[in-house]
Amino acid sequence: MCYAIPGRIIKISNNIALIDYYGERKEALVDIEGIRTGDYVFAQGGVIVDRLQEEVALSILEGWREAFSRLKKKDKDLAEEEPFPEGIDPEIIRIIRKGEEGITLTRDEMLTLLRCSGRGELNLLYQTANSIRQKVHKNSSCVHGIIEFSNICKNDCAYCGIRKDNHALERYRMEADEIVEIVTSAVNRLGFRAFVLQSGEDSYYTTERLTEIIRRIRERCGVLLILSIGERDKGCYQELYDAGARGVLIRFETSNPDLYGKFHTTLRYEDRIETLKGVREIGYIIATGSLIGLPGQREEDLLEDILLARSFDTEMYSFGPLIAHPATPLASTPPVDLDAILKVIALTRLITHDGNALVTSAVETLFGKEGTRQALMAGGNSMMINLTPARYRRLYAIYPREDRATGFPDEDVQRRISETVSLLHSLGRAPTDIGISGTRGGNNKTSL
Ligand code: SAM
């Protein structure tokens, strides 16, 4: 199984390659030396990460050909807009259609959608978001592997189970050799091509140590590396970029500075925003967003979260539910309902069209595979598979996790991979690259 389908470069202009995948075209940044028109490459998140020998690429493409056209048809059929039942509020229909046509919505209009609760209206919103996703991205979906390499954290985020004040938690950190080995094996044995390396804010990983890990991975494998390590100064992020990291996943958690102040004592809202601006300036792909369900959070805050995330020209929106952890000050926070999350994902899709929306693991933890399925059908197009070895995974307890690890790590990873892949396939999604989004694209941008 492979989480990336290779494509053939048909044109390069200004360092942006136009890549053909069975007749569909996506753009990607040329990020490795010596790439030429006619080459077969793997791209991830709109970045070319590896070149393949022609015979290898052709054999992968041949293996996928029949399945790809079947999946593509299924995705298109599922995204076909159904006639909606009578009785839907005409004002909601008007706003949704306006967003679908790419006309800027007013704040009031967006808030109306976030506050909407009628089943017919919500279904129309989700269906429209899915249809926009299908028109823009076709059936591309990205599946990244996430490796949680340390649960040691100097911060005290009020919602997070790995906060430093949770003294009951057994702590771990992986050494460079182990991280490099997990990535290499996930590439060679499991076919992953994009990884999120995540940890608490653990100062053991100095710039030098992180640089070494990134360099060693990039020397061995053509992969997209996304860092989720919290706040570092811009100089550090620059060195990590120079070493080969290309993405940063860092949520601002909430766009409301007062709420942020309530739930963070060791972190400042302004620093979080500065970090995001800094990594954007360096040239990283950005994944950001917020927690949904913080006590005191209102629809107005969620709207500002979406707009703030959009203001960074975010490539990957990451909005997910808060799950109360018993060893935190937010232990008694009730869970949000699924519609609260679907509305944020769908509205993000409606007002950005070409963004990518991650369906977080927290969605699955709260609402099971059905929750993930619904989020993928409401504008979502990206998922992560946890590749953290079972012995550590139960300790990376940012929220209580149902640990279904069998004790045989490989078997467990294989099970999670096949569950995710069958869900994606049941929705007609395939791992062709999602391409460049936002303003990074060139003139050949896939358009509606
Ligand atoms: N240290 C890095 C940082 O600060 O971005 C990455 C690790 S941090 C644990 C990753 C994300 O976990 C946070 O951005 C937060 O949104 C999420 N998270 C923490 N506790 C959570 C909870 N109880 N429920 C849902 N998500 C949570």
pTM of the model: 0.94
Nearest ligand 1 atom to alpha carbon 291: 16
When the pLDDT of each residue in the chain is averaged and rounded to a whole number, the result is 93
Answer whether residue 447 shows pLDDT above 60: no
211 band by pLDDT with thresholds 50, 70 and 90:
very high
Residues 232-254: what's their mean pLDDT? 98
Nearest Cα residue to atom 20 of ligand 1: 160
Instruction: Output the pLDDT for position 418.
Output: 86
Residues 285-306: what's their mean pLDDT? 98
Instruction: Output the pLDDT for position 249.
Output: 98
Instruction: Output the pLDDT for position 409.
Output: 52
**Pocket-testing residue among 251, 341, 384, ligand 1, by greatest number of atoms within 8 A of Cβ:** 251
pLDDT (tens digit per residue) in 55-85: 999 999 999 899 999 999 999 999 987 776 7
pLDDT (tens digit per residue) in 121-158: 999 999 999 999 999 999 999 899 999 999 999 999 99
| Structural domains in the chain, sorted by start | 7-76 (2.30.30.140), 79-135 (no CATH), 140-436 (3.20.20.70)
Side chain identity at residue 157, one-letter code = C
Instruction: Output the pLDDT for position 439.
Output: 61
Instruction: State in Å: Cα 155 to ligand 1 middle.
Output: 11
pLDDT (tens digit per residue) in 25-60: 999 999 999 999 999 999 999 999 999 999 999 999
Which ranges of 138-206 does DSSP label H, i.e. alpha helix? 176-188
Residue that the structure tokens 């299908």 belong to = 134
Nearest ligand 1 atom to alpha carbon 328: 23
Question: Can you tell me the distance from the alpha carbon of 99 to that of 350, in angstroms, rounded to the nearest whole number?
Answer: 5
Instruction: State in Å: Cα 350 to ligand 1 middle.
Output: 26
- CA proximity to 12, closest of 21, 23, 31, 2: 31
**Pocket-testing residue among 152, 154, 159, 396, ligand 1, by greatest number of atoms within 8 A of Cβ:** 159
Tokens of 262: 């309530």
Nearest ligand 1 atom to alpha carbon 267: 4
Question: Can you tell me the distance from the alpha carbon of 309 to that of 317, in angstroms, rounded to the nearest whole number?
Answer: 7
pLDDT (tens digit per residue) in 382-425: 999 999 998 999 999 999 976 544 444 555 788 888 899 899 99
CB within 6 Å of ligand 1 — which residues? 159-160, 162, 198, 200-201, 228-230, 250-251, 253, 291, 322-323, 325, 362, 398-399
pLDDT (tens digit per residue) in 89-114: 999 999 999 999 999 999 999 999 99
Q: Give CA separation, 308 vs 58, 69, 251, in Å.
A: 42, 37, 11
pLDDT (tens digit per residue) in 186-202: 999 888 999 999 999 99
Tokens of 324: 């109360």
Instruction: Output the pLDDT for position 230.
Output: 97
Instruction: State in Å: Cα 117 to ligand 1 middle.
Output: 28
Instruction: State in Å: Cα 370 to ligand 1 middle.
Output: 23
pLDDT (tens digit per residue) in 334-387: 999 999 999 999 999 999 999 999 999 999 999 999 999 999 999 999 999 999
Instruction: State in Å: Cα 160 to ligand 1 middle.
Output: 6
445 band by pLDDT with thresholds 50, 70 and 90:
very low
Instruction: State in Å: Cα 109 to ligand 1 middle.
Output: 30
- DSSP for 38-102 reads T-EEEEETTEEEEEE-HHHHHHHHHHHHHHHHHHHHHHHHHHSPPPPPTT--HHHHHHHHHHHTT
Instruction: State in Å: Cα 447 to ligand 1 middle.
Output: 34
Q: Are 237 and 214 in contact (CB under 8 A)?
A: no
User: Could you tell me whether strands 316-317 and 16-21 are parallel, antiparallel, or unpaired per DSSP bridges?
Assistant: unpaired
